[in-house]
């Protein structure tokens, strides 16, 4: 997906997701401040997208209905959305990737039926997790991994710094960033 940068980091009891705001149409920047992250299911779930905006909105709506159907169970809702996305004739045409997260877990979802839970990063006692999507995702992932393994930075600080690095490298990302955070009960 040549479109954006979305990153989600969990460290300690914080889950933080961020996305840049750039919307690109071909070689033209059409908008600088798009919101590519949504809070769902009574603000307990974060969802971010890379790809077609209209397709992402359709997927957000479908995912929210899965969350309602399965009582907010993130894992089950993610699997059911991925199944529908892969098998439904109309949904199969949607061009997007999603990262969905609650305060404790995160998943990357694709139209190929992928439901990927990232491996732990850094000190596993802290429960460090990182997931990225979009054209700047690999830059943000590299930065976040290095910061997670080598600094005591908070999840929010890691996300902020990683997004800044990605935006400096990826021409399809900018520094107009939306950040959302969830805290797990201790």
Q: What is the DSSP letter of 134?
A: S
Neighbours of 29 (CB within 10 A): 12
Q: Is 4 a catalytic residue?
A: yes
To the nearest 10°, report the CA torsion of 120, 123, 127, 128: -60
Nearest to 13 by CA among 94, 122, 126: 126
Burial 87-123 (b: 16+ CB within 10 A, else e): eeeebeebebbbbbbbbebbbbbbbeeebeebeebbe
Q: Report the DSSP pairing between strands 6-11 and 129-133.
A: antiparallel
Q: Write the CA distances from 39 to 13, 63, 88, 100, integer angstroms.
A: 18, 12, 25, 10
**Which of 4, 132, 145, 178 does the annotation list as catalytic?**
4
Residues involved in catalysis: 4
């Amino acid at each position: 997906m040549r479109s954006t940068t979305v990153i989600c980091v969990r460290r300690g009891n914080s889950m933080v997701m961020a996305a840049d705001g750039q919307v690109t149409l071909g070689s033209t920047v059409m908008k600088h401040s798009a919101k590519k992250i949504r809070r769902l299911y009574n603000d307990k779930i974060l969802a971010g997208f890379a790809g077609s905006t209209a397709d992402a909105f359709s997927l957000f709506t479908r995912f929210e209905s899965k969350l309602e159907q399965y009582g907010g169970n993130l894992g089950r809702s993610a699997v059911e959305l991925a199944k529908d996305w892969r098998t439904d004739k109309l949904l199969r045409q949607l061009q997007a990737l999603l990262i969905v997260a609650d305060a404790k877990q995160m998943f990357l979802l694709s139209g190929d039926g992928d439901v990927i839970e990232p491996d732990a990063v850094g000190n596993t006692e802290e429960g460090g997790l990182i997931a990225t999507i979009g054209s700047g995702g690999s830059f943000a992932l590299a930065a976040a991994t290095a910061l997670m393994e080598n600094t005591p930075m908070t999840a929010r600080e890691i996300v902020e710094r990683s997004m800044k690095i990605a935006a400096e490298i990826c021409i399809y990302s900018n520094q107009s960033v939306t950040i959302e955070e969830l805290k797990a009960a201790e």
